[in-house]
């Protein structure tokens, strides 16, 4: 079951420059920042109500974020939906003919399991599912 919009991911070239900009925008300093090895990225979270804005900087030229920025430039990368049971949601959505980038959840940032729906099956929008690790 989908619980809420967890965050909106924004691909950025420089976390340092973008963090300065978004810190001013949200009047927040020192966002929660971490490296996510599985995604080849460094992320920074800015809480906004019950959701957050996630800035994502590539740590490798072969990462999906690097390829995204090369093709489309900086900007909104994905919308993340928090779910109760990520494995059950993958099965449910596959039964409705949704395609996934990967069929198996991987470790994401902030202590979550994540899985991405392929944009070809969601009107061009990259959707991330996440479930808090227990």
3 state DSSP class of 121: helix
* Domain residue limits at 13: 2-132
- E-strand ranges in the chain read 2-12, 32-36, 41-48, 51-58, 75-83, 106-107, 112-117, 127-132
Q: Angle at the Cα of 89 (from 58 to 67), degrees rounded to 5? A: 20
| Digit-coded pLDDT (tens) for 28-85 | 988 999 999 989 999 999 999 999 999 999 999 999 999 999 999 999 999 999 999 9
User: Hey, how many other C-beta atoms are within 10 angstroms of the C-beta on 132?
Assistant: 14
In the predicted structure, residue 93 carries a pLDDT above the cut 90: yes
Say what the pTM is: 0.94
How far apart are the C-alpha atoms of 68 and 66, rounded to whole Å? 5
Specify the CATH number for the domain of residue 101. Answer: 3.10.180.10
Mean pLDDT of 6-31: 95
Confidence band for 134, pLDDT divided at 50, 70 and 90 = confident
Number of domains in the chain: 1
Find the distance separating the first CA and the last CA of the chain, reported in whole Å. Answer: 17
How far apart are the C-alpha atoms of 86 and 119, rounded to whole Å? 18
């Amino acid at each position: 079951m989908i619980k809420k919009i967890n965050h909106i991911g924004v691909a950025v070239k420089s976390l340092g420059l973008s963090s300065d900009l978004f810190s001013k925008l949200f009047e927040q300093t020192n966002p929660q920042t971490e490296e996510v090895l599985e995604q080849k990225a460094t992320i920074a979270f800015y809480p906004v109500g019950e959701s957050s804005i996630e800035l994502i900087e590539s740590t490798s030229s072969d990462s999906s974020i690097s390829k995204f920025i090369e093709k489309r430039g900086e900007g909104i990368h994905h919308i993340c939906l928090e779910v109760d049971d990520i494995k059950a949601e993958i099965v449910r959505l596959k039964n409705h003919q949704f395609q996934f980038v990967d069929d198996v959840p991987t470790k994401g940032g902030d202590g979550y399991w994540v899985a991405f729906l392929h944009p070809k099956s969601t009107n061009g929008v990259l959707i991330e599912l996440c479930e808090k690790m227990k």
